[in-house]
Copies of this chain bind each other. A is one copy, B any other.
Amino acid sequence: MRVAALSDFLLQRIDRSCGKPVNRQLYQVIREAILTHVMPVGLQLPSSRDLARELSIARNTVTYAYEQLMAEGYLETRAGAGTFVADTVPDQIPEVAASNSLRPMQAGSLGLSERGAQLVKHAGAYKFQWGAFMPGVPDVTAFPNKVWSRLQNKYWRRSRSELLTYGHGGGHAPLREAIAEYLRVARSVNCSAEQVIVTSGIHQSIDLASKLLADVGDRAWVEDPCYWGTRNVLTSLNLKPVPIAVDAEGISPRNSDLRHPPRFIFVTPSHQYPLGQVMSLSRRRMLLEYADMHNVWIMEDDYDSEFRYASRPLASLQGMDTHDRVLYFGSFSKTLFPGLRVGFVVVPLALADAFATGLSDLYRCGQLFTQAVLADFMVEGHFASHIRRMRVLYAERQQLLREAISRNFGDALAISGDDAGLHLALLLPERCDDAAVCRQAQEQGIIVRPLSGYYMKPSRAKPGLILGYACVPSEMVGPTFDRLAGIIRRHL
């Protein structure tokens, strides 16, 4: 390639009006020409002076491109001879026998793994995370921003650098203390601060526990219906979620289930998700006895136990456990705000060290700053008073929603769930297409999720609507439900 031919080639590919510096363009065009063998190994390049003249650009521009290409190994200089395309063509790569080859890429599969394809297919997270009637989201507009901001600024002013680096162990010690203290008093959890492992939420808590306590192929009982996140995290780790029916007393394994002890039992004893019933005492005792007998771990998800409106809160299952078989999962997503991303798992004392080690190693934790602010927020009493205020607010909104349901449907549609939590499950008649109701509602800007989607076993799936009321302004609860009722009626 002569200087003139090369400069023609380059001129055609450089666009002075595109806003990108010409030296970068020159570098990229030459690089691509070398990678695609348009400029072969050993080709001599014109001097920077000659090329600059041919291209009518500053010599500096050419020098910049040449130097970058030399630094990266595309060009080399030979003393007294000039600049050449370097020999960087890789050696012949050995052929691979067919039997050693990877599984072939299937058309449209994008190269996802089996578990990856399953995950994307059964994704449960929702695009909308706010508004009537999004379940599981608290009223973040009622969060005391000013208090939080004040505590936050206190730490940033002091500039405590040990809070800016990686965490090690189970989390920021003062936060672990504050959580343990709160759980002992409010939830009758038996624990010391050492047993509290601070995570980024229930998903990380499940991931950690599954990696430390289960191996590929292990089975985990989940309530059917249950939270989609639990089964998706388990599946992504190649555990097998086994759906167990729930009745009025909570999870209800049959004898045929009991004969095959799983590795884990995931339950929501305080407030079954999403149906809302409280697990009976005899069912609790049965589970504890069974877990002790068969070395099973019980995973207690106490996701919204802070919000009971008429009756008093029940003690945790963990607090009844005398054989260290229960891991207790909680988070601040419902009590403060989801975006905070702070949760925790309380583990038996014998496992505390392993969990602290696993946490540091698997997730390389940090956010100690946020943990320090949260600890102060709890110790200064803001957490307790925020929960008290929210309890009043959500009780009012649940009441407004119950009234709206009753105004529209009388007793024709049943509500599952008691006076607790952030959502109600409105049951629809058999054969009603709850997914279709939700789609039509969404077209009108109302977010509802179909109950049937929470079931793993299709034969058990009941139609219904999960109605989150916590993040709906009180004056909107009734009017929005009235609009939704119009859509529901078309499907009854």
Contacts and interface: CB of A to CB of B under 8 A. Distances in A.
Contacts of A35: 285, 320, 322
A167 B339 contact: yes
A113 B214 contact: yes
A399 interface: no
Contacts of A130: 161-162, 165
A331 to B, nearest CB: 9
A320 B167 CA distance: 36
How many protomers of this protein does the assembly include?
A: 2
Interface stretch (A50-58, A83-91, A445-453, A479-487): A83-91
A229 B233 CA distance: 21
Categorize the interface residue count of chain A.
35 or more
Contacts of A115: 211-212, 215
Contacts of A282: 73, 87-90
A123 B361 contact: yes
Interface in A90-107: 90-91, 93-94, 96-97, 100-102, 104-105
A8 B325 CA distance: 32
B211 A113 contact: yes
A214 B117 CA distance: 10
A71 B143 CA distance: 31
Interface string A115-157: 1100110011111111000000100110101101100110011
A129 B165 contact: yes
Contacts of A277: none
A490 interface: no
A3 interface: no
B165 A201 contact: no
A192 to B, nearest CB: 15
Contact of A354 (B105, B120, B156): B120
Nearest to A320: B35
Interface of A: 28, 31, 35, 67-68, 71-74, 86-91, 93-94, 96-97, 100-102, 104-105, 110-116, 119-120, 123-130, 137, 140-141, 143, 145-146, 148-149, 152-153, 156-157, 159, 161-169, 188, 200-204, 207, 211-216, 218, 229, 232-233, 236-238, 255, 258-261, 263, 280-283, 285-286, 289-290, 293-297, 311-312, 314-315, 320, 322, 333, 337-341, 350-351, 354, 357-358, 360-369, 471
Given A110-B354, A112-B354, 9 more contacts: A35-B285, A68-B312, A102-B261, A125-B166, A140-B161, A167-B339, A233-B362, A333-B366, A339-B367
